[in-house]
């Protein structure tokens, strides 16, 4: 039996505000539920939509007082910084192109940040945010949520402990089917902005899901990409951005990789799968069955490891909440980001020193790396899928 | 894309108190997290443990004020009923033998109830609670949480709509491995009380998990058990209650059933699986992959239905929270009990009439039926596994 | 890499004759293909059908000379025994009720036997065949073919070596869907005789597939059944024999078992699955993926063992033919019966002594036990599903 | 219930000779067993090894007369052509580099051919064989055996009937683990020649298994490759040929593809998997579970299609041998090549006209295309993984 994440903690309760996440949006509500599960912070203010009526309705639904519902993010940031009971951190859950100005202002005004990925649509902007966060000494989390699964944390620990031997090859894929038709022409909101270069940036498929592959492999293996050759396809007619991408890579240790992401792959819901092949051991994990990990050995039978049942490295073990066979899912993975970020922030505010484990959430560096990766993929593809 | 359960609601926020669920306990924390996800109610008081120190520590961790942490459940019930801001409902998450006295007193004092299963250790007591709840007109939920999965609700709707034709046979199993050794001798807390007749009642394996099978099949199919033949085995030496059970059944429509539950089944985490065979269609669902349902047809290929992707009956669809392929798990199923119970209670308090869908959570009748089922299984087994 | 069964062998080629297996029949052709794979014996004569035209057509198709195609089995047996190049063994692949007279005559005339299961429709007849085979010192194989899978042989070896510790519980099931409608009313040949008491005997579902469960569990574990309680259901209207069966058992070592077989289980092709739970290890094998075995341990991760890749006990290893990942199927399992029986028969004919491994095919004793099992199941069920 | 391939046929029995396939070799024995299953042809002569002792031992084991065991293939070809009862066709199952001279001589002397893949190590040689076979009007089969699975034939028929709509993307992979260590240094025979450029040609991984991907996708879809970008890796130190390959492709209809093959992928036995994404439907098939096909639709639940249970297109249906749930495997797929080739050859010899279905086996054109594919992959990779 396992010891898992406990509800709440002795840390003082923090306060947060949110930009985006109005009624009808998907990910904002996930943030709120994920925080609520462990209860470490409380929503106090919001600018949930460019449509103030939506903000008012969302705020009322969530039990916020009217005076802390704002017409613009600028207004919110300025007002909250002046309050004694103002937000400690701000969550930015808006379309990609708005991440930069909102985050920049929030950092300048001294707020800690949780921002959706990709961090920005331009790596120079991302780097600016990185410098600003450093200067201001503010905590920064970019919500690559899949790294919150306990099994993923165990995989990272296995690599770090040398269990795999040297890594030789990585095969990762993230197929989805949701954009297999011209969904954006039907008025469906999320598909509309994700395939619109003005709001989504230079890439849709790599920007949205390919970027999760890059982050995940980097998180598990600590390998750096030395070069890559990317082909981004726009398969659906009249679409303005890529919806399928094949990428060959080489890492700094000489290992090779192959990534595939797709949004036209009929039959795949959210089939994010990562296989890492080492000299001694290989790992196979799929996000749709996140509690299980297949560990294959060179000279003995493969194992199926079950979260909560089988022993994990201690840091990974901490993230398991319930006994094995009771599935933990996406909300719990997301909550694990916050169950790390919020206590870390509480420690920081109270002046304590943060350990590496305290900071085990995707930071601004991961965000910058993600944006650069997207840019390099688009560059390679535009040049004719060549190595760069 | 789906429309799912939304965070919070316009219903006034309710207040709840809790008996049991102190630090170190498993299920109490699940109740709190499940409620927190949708934010419909707030914990205001607790008697979390017979050890008051544990109650104090748990209450502090959860941010409760000291005056609402109580030494005994009696004290809590009396105090909370006198407060203007007293709890609206009480959650009972204690060992089985204590459910009856606590629930009885709480009902007598006018509290709505959420009680862990099995409802009591004696069916006459369970029936008393049923009568009391009816007299006092109080809402009552027994937390058979697995019925909260969206796919389960879809299965129930499929049966109700006649999609299966007539049901012919049910095969359900619930194998676990956690009691495959003499765990109770190691001091492990949960195994100690579950295998102790004084605290767990007359059955361990049927009482704990076999009872989930009975409830689930009953919920999905609405079939009533006409007769059964049960063999309860105590496989581990020196154990005082059953840890494995095989049960043959006949239902009121003439269909037959076979249930197996086990806690000594090495290799199974929490392998609750239900297969329902109809004249036209059969269903196959496993709790460890709760987002998927296999639907087999007499004369065409079997389908794999995916929550969030494929169309569910409207009532079932409402319980899906996120897009397909983002796994929903046990917490979300549990939260779905509360996301039904709490709005229903809010409606009731405000004098609104409750529809059948409003009441789609396991009520006191399900609890009574569960206790009777356990008793009949034990009776059959004691007589030599004969039909009764 | 593995060393497997080799094509052919140095043993002299044997000759066989066949009763049953005409055009349109299923299992007779499987016998012929299975023998042909390893080439140890040659078909020389046949009485393939009661319809001599079918026998002639089948014989021509198979390249037999006309003089060795016979109108009746009696004629064939008498003629073949007189020839110098007569058959060494006879395969009986006819409906159940005819096994006894054919086999009896063949044994009396000195032929070695391969007979389909169930051996007879009456256990006294089966025992007569057993005594006759012993008196005449003739080899006898009853084609419980599923025991021919290499993984099954490895399971048996694991139990024999004590790898599981003591066996505590067995759960085995064999669901099919092929009789989920009134197929026998459509003129479909096999369903007609299988559901006809005159040809199939006292049971359909237990006789056909339930009997495989009994044989398989007995083969793997060597446990003897001490008592059982069986409920045989006839679920399809106007059917004359059982099509679904639930059976609780107790073995001689005190372990318990639960078997389920069904022919009305829509969604199951041929889902024969056996789970054996020991004190240290449990095994889980499914006939539809016969190359893999799940081995679960009390205190370490479960393993997936792959035929040809992972080390088997030497005797089991011998039955693997090709590298891992190249699926071996039903024909190969069937061929493994013959790749054991035929060399054993060649040795016997040449006067060599046969080892236990030489005789690793289901013999007449397995056949007798199978018939008794069917009789006891029917008896228990007729008495109201009581223990006997 | 299905009608499948029947044992034997009315066609006159043909005779074959074999080069390669001596004791200790893997694939030669598979050829012999595959032919034996359906009984359409008989082995009459062999030059099984360069080591004549091995040829003699193999021939004796297989019951051949000594006069038809030959020291060299030249001797065999010359001798067999002069006999009245000489071989009708010759099987070449030797290392890659010897295919050309043997096949060339055999064609010149008028023998029909079955040759292992890759056809040759040089595409000009392959084309010569193609021209020679055409001139001499001889049948030619290259044993890309995986196309023999009934499900694969159904996939091809689905594409041909337009069930998928337009094909947009193909993702195919073939990971194995058998060369994940320096196996060739241990004296293991097959690894030694496969990684030796002198015997295997210019590629190991693409030549052996990548070539199966090319053939399979081409067979199912009829798409032609317009351009490709291949990176062949030699991951194991001191190995002389590639053991891992990533290939991006574009087809003549504008669709894109991504292939991955590997022999260092610990955890994969023989994981050949093909996913084909169309505008309406996508297909997902894995060689390790060859009896099942996942068919995903844009707007309805995915189906799992089961060989023998669910209706296939008629031509595909013919290749199914036994009822569903009785696994068919690699031998049966291989046998299906011969159950097509042999009757076709019998027809040809008797002067009948051959239909397209009669010729549904991989011919010399498939072999030529395979060699060219290997060459193009190596060329692209050598130039730095560029598009060609």
Same domain, D86 and D223: no
- Identify the pLDDT of residue A39: 87
**CA distance, residue D136 to nearest chain C CA (Å):** 31
First vs last Cα of chain A: how many Å apart?
49
Cα→Cα distances D176→A369, D180, D262, D265, Å: 33, 8, 6, 5
Whether C270 and D323 lie within 8 Å, measured CB to CB: yes
Residue A161's CATH number: 3.30.360.10
Please name which of B31, B342, B190 lies closest in space to residue B46, comparing C-alpha atoms: B31
Whether D267 and A284 lie within 8 Å, measured CB to CB: yes
Across A153-162, A193-202, A283-292, B236-245, least confident range: A193-202
D73 inside domain: yes
Q: List chains adjacent to chain C, taking adjacency as at least 3 C-beta pairs closer than 8 Å.
A: A, B, D
Is any Cβ of chain D less than 8 angstroms from the Cβ of C42?
no
Please name which of B222, B230, B171, B170 lies closest in space to residue B205, comparing C-alpha atoms: B230
Please name which of D31, D15, D79, D76 lies closest in space to residue D49, comparing C-alpha atoms: D76
A388 inside domain: no
d(CA B191, CA B91): 22
Residues 215-234 of C with CB under 8 A from B: 229, 231, 233
Q: Which of D171, D233, D277 sits opposite A256 (nearest CB)?
A: D233
Ranges of chain D whose pLDDT falls below 70: 1-12
Is any Cβ of chain B less than 8 angstroms from the Cβ of C278?
yes
Ranges of chain C whose pLDDT falls below 70: 1-12
Judging contacts by C-beta atoms under 8 Å, the chain D residues touching residue A297 are: 266
Same domain, C231 and C279: yes
**CA distance, residue D160 to nearest chain A CA (Å):** 19
- Identify the pLDDT of residue D7: 44
- Identify the pLDDT of residue A12: 57
Is any Cβ of chain C less than 8 angstroms from the Cβ of B261?
no
Same domain, C214 and C256: yes
**Please, are residues A285 and A273 in contact by the beta-carbon 8 Å criterion?**
yes
Judging contacts by C-beta atoms under 8 Å, the chain C residues touching residue D329 are: 326-329, 331-332
C253 inside domain: yes
Q: Which of B61, B288, B327 sits opposite A8 (nearest CB)?
A: B61
The residue in chain A having the minimum alpha-carbon distance to the alpha carbon of residue C311 is A300
D4 inside domain: no
Whether B282 and C265 lie within 8 Å, measured CB to CB: yes
d(CA D80, CA A156): 63
- Three-state secondary-structure class, residue C372: helix
Is any Cβ of chain C less than 8 angstroms from the Cβ of D339?
no
- ipTM of predicted complex: 0.93
Whether A301 and C303 lie within 8 Å, measured CB to CB: yes
Same domain, C58 and C156: no
Q: List chains adjacent to chain A, taking adjacency as at least 3 C-beta pairs closer than 8 Å.
A: B, C, D
d(CA D287, CA D176): 12
Residue C75's CATH number: 3.40.50.720
First vs last Cα of chain B: how many Å apart?
49
Same domain, C130 and C205: no
As a whole number, mean pLDDT of residues A238-259 equals: 96
Q: Which domain holds residue D299?
A: 149-322+368-382
Q: How many domains does chain A fold into?
A: 2
Is any Cβ of chain A less than 8 angstroms from the Cβ of C355?
no
Is any Cβ of chain D less than 8 angstroms from the Cβ of A269?
no
**CA distance, residue A329 to nearest chain C CA (Å):** 21
**CA distance, residue C90 to nearest chain B CA (Å):** 39
B140 inside domain: yes
pLDDT tens digits, A38-97: 989 999 999 999 999 999 999 999 989 999 999 999 999 999 999 999 999 999 999 999
Cα→Cα distances C149→A357, C207, C224, C310, C331, Å: 49, 21, 22, 15, 10
Is any Cβ of chain D less than 8 angstroms from the Cβ of A292?
no
- Beta-strand runs (E) in B292-354: 292-297, 302-306
**Chain centroid to CA B385:** 27
**CA distance, residue A220 to nearest chain C CA (Å):** 21
- Identify the pLDDT of residue B165: 97
Locate all alpha helices (DSSP H) within C145-303, ordered by sequence: 150-160, 189-194, 197-200, 205, 211-221
Judging contacts by C-beta atoms under 8 Å, the chain D residues touching residue B302 are: 303-304, 306
> And the tokens for A347?
């420690």
Question: Among B158, B295, B302, which would you mutate to test the D interface (most chain D Cβ atoms within 10 Å of its Cβ)?
Answer: B302
Residue B365 sits at the vertex; the CA angle it makes with B362 and B369, to the nearest 5 degrees, is 100
* Residues whose CB is less than 8 angstroms from the CB of residue D345 and which lie 6 or more positions away in sequence, other chains included: D14, D88, D89, D112, D139
Residues 302-331 of C with CB under 8 A from A: 302-306, 310
- Provide the residue count of chain B: 388
- Identify the pLDDT of residue C6: 45
C275 inside domain: yes
Judging contacts by C-beta atoms under 8 Å, the chain C residues touching residue A305 are: 301
**CA distance, residue C118 to nearest chain D CA (Å):** 19
**Please, are residues A20 and A28 in contact by the beta-carbon 8 Å criterion?**
yes
**CA distance, residue C183 to nearest chain B CA (Å):** 12
Whether D266 and A275 lie within 8 Å, measured CB to CB: no
d(CA D81, CA D136): 15
Cα→Cα distances C307→A302, C24, C146, Å: 12, 33, 15
- Identify the pLDDT of residue B3: 45
The residue in chain B having the minimum alpha-carbon distance to the alpha carbon of residue A6 is B29
Is any Cβ of chain B less than 8 angstroms from the Cβ of C181?
yes
DSSP C52-114: HHHHHHHHHHTT--GGGB-SSHHHHHHHHHH-TT--SEEEEES-GGGHHHHHHHHHHTT-EEE
The residue in chain D having the minimum alpha-carbon distance to the alpha carbon of residue B1 is D299
- Identify the pLDDT of residue B13: 83
Same domain, B19 and B138: yes
Same domain, D90 and D164: no
The DSSP 8-state label assigned to residue B340 in this structure reads H
Question: Among A167, A172, A205, A266, which would you mutate to test the D interface (most chain D Cβ atoms within 10 Å of its Cβ)?
Answer: A266
D8 inside domain: no
Please name which of A360, A48, A45, A382 lies closest in space to residue A219, comparing C-alpha atoms: A360
Would the pLDDT of A4 be above 70? no
Q: How many CB atoms lie within 10 A of CB B186?
A: 9
**CA distance, residue C245 to nearest chain B CA (Å):** 10
Whether C287 and D327 lie within 8 Å, measured CB to CB: yes
Same domain, B108 and B239: no
- Identify the pLDDT of residue A6: 45
- Identify the pLDDT of residue B244: 98
Same domain, D109 and D201: no
Q: List chains adjacent to chain D, taking adjacency as at least 3 C-beta pairs closer than 8 Å.
A: A, B, C
Same domain, B170 and B292: yes
**Phi/psi of residue B36, nearest 5 degrees:** -60, -35
- Provide the residue count of chain A: 388
**Phi/psi of residue C136, nearest 5 degrees:** -85, -5
- Three-state secondary-structure class, residue B60: helix
> And the tokens for A197?
């270069």
* Residues whose CB is less than 8 angstroms from the CB of residue B288 and which lie 6 or more positions away in sequence, other chains included: A325, A327, B269, B270, B271, B272
pTM for the structure as a whole: 0.95
Same domain, B156 and B142: no
B283 inside domain: yes
pLDDT tens digits, A8-35: 444 558 999 999 999 888 899 999 999 9
**Chain centroid to CA A272:** 13
- Identify the pLDDT of residue D78: 97
The residue in chain C having the minimum alpha-carbon distance to the alpha carbon of residue D273 is C325
Same domain, A87 and A174: no
């Amino acid at each position: 039996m396992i010891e898992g994440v406990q509800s709440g903690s002795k840390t003082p309760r923090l306060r947060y505000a949110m930009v985006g996440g109005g009624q009808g949006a998907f990910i904002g509500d996930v943030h709120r539920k994920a925080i609520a599960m462990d209860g470490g912070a409380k929503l106090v203010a919001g600018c949930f939509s460019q449509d103030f009526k939506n903000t008012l309705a969302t705020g009322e639904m969530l039990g916020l007082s009217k005076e802390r519902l704002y017409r613009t993010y600028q207004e919110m940031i300025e007002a909250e910084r002046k309050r004694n009971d103002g937000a400690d951190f701000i969550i930015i859950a808006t379309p990609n192109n708005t991440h930069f100005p909102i985050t920049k202002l929030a950092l300048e005004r001294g707020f800690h940040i949780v921002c959706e990925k990709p961090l920005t649509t331009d790596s120079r902007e991302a780097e600016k945010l990185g410098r600003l966060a450093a200067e201001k000494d503010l905590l920064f989390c970019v919500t690559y949520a899949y790294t919150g699964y306990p099994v993923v944390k165990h995989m990272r620990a296995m690599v770090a402990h040398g269990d795999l031997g040297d890594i030789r090859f990585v095969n990762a894929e993230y197929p989805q089917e949701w954009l297999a038709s011209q969904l954006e022409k039907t008025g469906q909101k999320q598909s509309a902005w994700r395939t619109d270069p003005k709001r989504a940036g230079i890439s849709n498929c790599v920007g949205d899901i390919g970027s999760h592959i890059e982050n995940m492999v980097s998180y598990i293996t600590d390998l750096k990409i030395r070069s890559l050759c990317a082909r981004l396809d726009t398969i659906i007619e009249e679409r303005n951005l890529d919806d399928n991408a094949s990428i060959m890579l080489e890492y700094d240790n000489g290992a090779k990789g192959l990534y595939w992401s797709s949004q036209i792959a009929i039959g795949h819901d959210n089939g994010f799968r990562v296989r890492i092949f080492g000299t001694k051991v290989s790992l196979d994990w799929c996000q749709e069955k996140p509690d299980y990990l297949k560990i294959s050995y060179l000279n003995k039978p493969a194992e199926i490891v079950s979260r909560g049942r089988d022993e994990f490295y201690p840091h990974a073990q901490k993230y398991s909440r319930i006994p094995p066979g009771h599935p933990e899912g996406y909300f719990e993975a997301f909550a694990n980001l916050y169950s790390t970020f919020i206590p870390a922030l509480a420690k920081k505010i109270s002046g304590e020193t943060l350990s590496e484990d305290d900071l085990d959430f995707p930071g601004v560096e991961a965000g910058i790396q993600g944006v650069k990766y997207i840019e390099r993929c688009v560059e390679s593809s535009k040049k004719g899928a060549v190595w760069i």
